[in-house]
Structure 1
């Protein structure tokens, strides 16, 4: 599957390491690691220093969107001359992983969430915009160049690189008066720099957190891939959840090699956090592990 997103991006050969072998922790190992992670969450709640979260493509695989470097990832299969399978971005729906993250946010265990995904599912599931950093953008978003009003579209904005889309702003979010500023897309291309305001928000989040959690990301792409290094410099421990070995495997406190949704849903279960799954899930609900 060559997605619309890929077709919009410039050519970029340095995509990091793809197709690493998957590691599967035993149930005993998973439970032990989950207990450790749950302790960090309880400490975060009691101290008022919520967990800081980084999301990668592995969170959206439950929504039937392929990741990039995994066993069935877009770039892994492309290197073998094959195409990845998945649904169109426009029909993708938030899955168990997204809803578990939202539940943990609502319960006050986590606050700031950085997403590297451009599928818009983190916003769609209901994570508040003020706590969500869409660091690589959102394919369904247009932004006014003058007043910075945001417009969430039902269809993909067919542009990347923060370029003008040809649309005009219909209002100013502060004054309510007509603005008529030019609209741009909100998705980075390979050579587009990350917004300074996003980087400022990340710096602020470091001061408010007690633990860093990386979910479904191989940490291959800089600068987000280097965040565990930043955490270590600040004396903050890191947990990763990813089937494959991450770029900073030996650096983090705990590396959990298991299904993302199983870990997140089991974590909610252990903390007594109810997950509102709704009736339109794209994936199956796992049986939570008792820890």
Structure 2
């Protein structure tokens, strides 16, 4: 049911540029760019200013979920009268990219992680909720409108737009007091505003970071697509990892055009960070590039 999310959204024609040609860096180019990125990560650890990360749909393609603007993306194929292929959201599992990001977080190289994905895989892999900004929401999450208790469901909450789901809260998990507040979904529709809580987390992250890393996103949808511009005004450099040219290609320091999981896994290897891959991966483990 890879089209469930799309079917829940309101009709909105302005989805940005889709179907851009893919760019493939040579191995030598990837290694050269990775050296620069590795230096930023080492500097972040030395200075105590962790990397600020923005995640897009390209991170979940390894989990067999289609992206939106890629060659086989949902919106690209939709424009051609076709349907994207992929697994059901409910059976999708975190892949090498998710686990590499988690490993870098555990090692202290990165802290705040903004995800534009609503598939819930960033929570599922184990990224701490306090450091995760699910800026567009989570299809598996319900939130109490009174006490803000969160409920992570096994099945998709078939609603978007922060609307009541018809269920009631079981009580405040911190105080133990009865609540019975109304539950709502936690996923934005096109015209739903980003929560102030999320925006406050992002403002705080800017004060703590030394570098912005945008992974698997074309940066077409604002306001998150404008983060490289925000970084520039703060004197912070940006690295992007995406097959297609991003919306801010000309102004970022480094644009890596390569497989997301190859770059992230190679980065972990170069930094000596062990990635706990487990035994239930949905994708193959790449051979890390030697930097």
**Does the alignment pair 1:68 with 2:68?**
yes
Q: Distance in 1 between matches of 2:7 and 2:80?
A: 19
Aligned to 2:219: 219
**Structure-2 residue corresponding to 1:275:** 275
Equivalent runs, 1:22-37 vs 2, <5 Å: 22-37=22-37
1:171: how far off? 1.4
- Specify the alignment match of 1:141 in structure 2: 141
Q: Do structure 1's residue 202 and structure 2's residue 225 form an aligned pair?
A: no
Counterpart position of 2:262? 262
Residue number in structure 2 paired with 1:236: 236
| Corresponding residue of 2:12 | 12
Q: Tell whether the 8 Å contact from 1:228 to 1:238 is kept in structure 2 after alignment.
A: yes
Deviation at residue 173 of structure 1 after TM alignment: 2.5
Rounded Cα–Cα distance in structure 2 between residues aligned with 1:242 and 1:271: 21
CA-to-aligned-CA distance 1:191-250 (integer Å, 9 cap, x gap): 101101111110110000000000000000000000100000000000000000000000
1:155-193 Cα deviation digits (max 9, x unpaired): 000000000001111010231122110000000000101
Look up the match of 1:57.
57
- Aligned to 1:255, the other structure's residue is in SS state strand
Counterpart CA distance in 2 for 1:250 and 1:288 is 28
Unaligned 5+ runs, structure 2? none
- Alignment-derived partner of residue 109 in structure 2: 109
Q: Distance in 2 between the 1:79 and 1:91 partners?
A: 27
Root-mean-square deviation (CA, aligned residues, Å) is 0.7
After TM superposition, the runs of 4+ consecutive aligned structure 1 residues lying more than 3 A away are none
Asked if the contact 2:212/2:239 (under 8 Å) is kept, the reply is yes
The answer to whether the Cα contact below 8 Å between 2:2 and 2:87 also exists between their aligned partners in 1 is no
Task: State how 1:163-202 maps to structure 2 within 5 Å.
Answer: 163-202=163-202
Cα contact 2:19–2:70 (8 A) shared by 1: yes
Number of equivalences: 291
Separation in 2 of the partners of 1:152 and 1:176? 18
Question: Where does structure 1 lack aligned partners over 5 or more consecutive residues?
Answer: none
Contact 1:37 1:239 in 2 (8 A): yes
User: Are the aligned partners of 2:2 and 2:88 in contact in 1 as well (CA < 8 Å)?
Assistant: no
Query: In the alignment, is the contact (CA less than 8 A) between 2:137 and 2:188 conserved in 1?
Result: yes
Secondary structure class of the residue paired with 1:118: coil
- Are the counterparts in 2 of residues 2 and 83 from structure 1 also a CA contact under 8 Å? no
Alpha-carbon shift at residue 3 of structure 1 (Å): 1.4
Please name the residue that 1:157 is paired with.
157
Q: State the TM-score, normalized to the length of structure 2.
A: 0.99
